[in-house]
Amino acid sequence: MTKYQVSLAGRTIELLVGDKEAASSGLRASYEIFRISDYRWLLNVDGRVFTLSADRNRDTSPGDRLHFTLNGNRFEAVVDDERSLLMKSVSRAYVPTGGILEIIAPMPGLIAKLEVEKGTKIRVGDAILVLEAMKMENEIRSPEHGTIVDVLVKSGVAVEKGEILVLIEPTVD
Boundaries of domain holding 140 = 92-170
B/e letters for 121-145, b = 16+ CB within 10 Å, e = fewer, are ebeeebebbbbebeeeebebbbbbb
What confidence score (pLDDT) does residue 93 get?
A: 52
CA dihedral 16, 22, 24, 29 (to 10 degrees): -170
Instruction: Give, for 90, the enclosing helix (H) or strand (E).
Output: helix 82-91
Last-in-domain residue among 48, 82, 116:
82
Across all residues in the chain, what is the average pLDDT?
A: 86
CATH of the domain at 103: 2.40.50.100
- The C-alpha atoms of residue 80 and residue 88 are separated, in whole angstroms, by 9
Question: By CB neighbour count within 10 A (0-12 exposed, 13-18 middle, 19+ buried), where does 84 fall?
Answer: middle
Co-location of 12 and 67 in the same domain = yes
Co-location of 59 and 37 in the same domain = yes
Q: Which amino acid is at 28?
A: R
- For residue 87, pLDDT over 90 is answered with no
Flag whether 42 is in a domain: yes
Question: By CB neighbour count within 10 A (0-12 exposed, 13-18 middle, 19+ buried), where does 35 fall?
Answer: exposed
What confidence score (pLDDT) does residue 143 get?
A: 81
Tens digit of pLDDT for each residue in 117-152?
A: 999 999 988 899 999 988 888 888 888 889 999 999
Flag whether 20 is in a domain: yes
Tens digit of pLDDT for each residue in 39-83?
A: 899 999 999 999 999 876 555 666 667 888 999 999 888 888 877
Q: What's the number of domains the chain is made of?
A: 2
Flag whether 87 is in a domain: no
